[in-house]
Amino acid sequence: MALRSRTTLTLRLFAAVAPRVQQAPSPVIITTPTREHRAADHTDESLEGLYHLLLLDDAHHSYDYVVEMLGKVLGYGPEKAFALARIVDAEGRVIIETASHDRVTQHQRQIHSYGADSRIPTSRGSMSAVVEPAAA
């Protein structure tokens, strides 16, 4: 009986106080950076001495191949690797890494030696990747 009285009292107090409490709407704005914003975030000075490794698109490698290869060469998870595969497919090239010259050339060699895509009969070799100065 005491429990029921406390519950009833709590509900009555809440009912009396609740109409007086006004909550201001809290808008949530979520934005994703555009290509221009991402480029603006990096000044030439912050990229000095760094290089981009760009993966080039072709018609002889599957998404599965790209996801697998980026996972093994760069340690990317399936979600990130798939997102990069979508970009390279849509835009023809994608920056997959920005790092020192030694690091990007090492990864470039690993990509070039990864081999053909066994899922596609016309695949004869690895994908192509190029190194460019990041500050250019």
What are 84's two structure tokens?
A: 């990069």
State the chain's maximal CA–CA distance in angstroms: 81
Q: Would you list the domain boundaries of the chain?
A: 49-133
pLDDT by residue for the chain (136 residues), tens only, comes to: 444 444 444 444 445 544 554 554 545 455 445 555 455 555 555 677 999 999 999 999 999 999 999 999 999 999 999 999 999 999 999 999 999 999 999 999 999 999 999 999 999 999 999 999 998 6
**Threshold 0.75, pTM exceeds:** no
CATH code assigned to 49-133: 3.30.1390.10
